[in-house]
Amino acid sequence: MILSDVDILRRLEDGDLAIEPIDDLDQQVQPASVDLRLGERFLEFQRANIPCIHPASADEVGEYVTETFVEEGEEFVLHPGDFVLGTTKERVAIPDDLVAHVEGRSSLGRLAIVVHATAGLADPGYEGQITLELSNLGTAPVALSPGMRVSQLTFTELTTPADRPYGEERGSKYQNQDGPQASRIGSDPEFDDDDDADAGESGGAGEA
């Protein structure tokens, strides 16, 4: 079951679903979604510094990105073909009986801006800001302003609450993230030399 605006407002009032800060409920709560705003921090990817990225090497991943801070009222220009990591201004906390889906806004999609490549899911139990995978698929640069509504969340109710929700207890690597986070795929168990690693300890798709 997908939550309607009535369901979303009830869950927000009850406090088991949290989205903060919401400055304007009437504007941000849509018929079956909640609009989220663009944050002020971006991770930009550098070109040609290394021949390739090895996912298991945290040093290589770190060398490949630089952080840029853009204050509200200023602009981040996303050029054609560029890919950057952004973040939502809002922090979310998803209860164990819901899964949230990160979607783009139609108005930005019509400018060829997409907000996620694959990380479109926030697992039950996920808490933190949401990293946005921003790409410009068009032919003209587009100016993005922190504070603008850039994405939306829809919510699906599970038939039963998750028995092992996303979180620190299972070692979920993006729990409580603050700002955009670069890939931590190197901590996945398939890259771990320890044969006893628990394949479930890296968490689910809460890296949205």
Beta bridge partner(s), residue 103: 152
Task: Give residue 178's pLDDT.
Answer: 76
Task: Give residue 196's pLDDT.
Answer: 41
Say if CB 74 and CB 147 are below 8 A apart.
no
Is 131 annotated as belonging to a binding site? yes
Task: Give residue 57's pLDDT.
Answer: 72
In terms of DSSP H, where are the helices of the chain? 5-14, 25-28, 58-63, 106-109
pLDDT tens for the chain, residues 1 to 208: 999 999 999 999 999 999 999 999 999 999 999 999 999 999 998 765 567 777 777 666 667 788 999 998 999 999 999 999 999 999 999 999 999 999 999 999 999 999 987 768 899 999 999 999 999 999 999 999 999 999 999 999 999 999 988 776 776 666 767 777 666 666 666 766 544 434 333 333 455 4
Is 110 annotated as belonging to a binding site? yes
The two tokens of residue 126 are: 């996920």
Task: Give residue 203's pLDDT.
Answer: 35
Q: Is 24 exposed, middle or buried (0-12, 13-18, 19+ CB in 10 A)?
A: exposed
Quick one: fold of 5-161+173-185?
Answer: Deoxyuridine 5'-Triphosphate Nucleotidohydrolase; Chain A (2.70.40)
Is 37 annotated as belonging to a binding site? no
User: Each residue of 67-86: pLDDT tens digit?
Assistant: 999 998 999 999 999 999 99
Task: Give residue 158's pLDDT.
Answer: 96
What is the domain partition of the chain in residue ranges? 5-161+173-185
Is 4 annotated as belonging to a binding site? no
Is 173 annotated as belonging to a binding site? yes
Q: Give me the count of residues in the chain.
A: 208
In the numeric block, the tokens 């939502």 are attached to 88
Known catalytic residues? 133
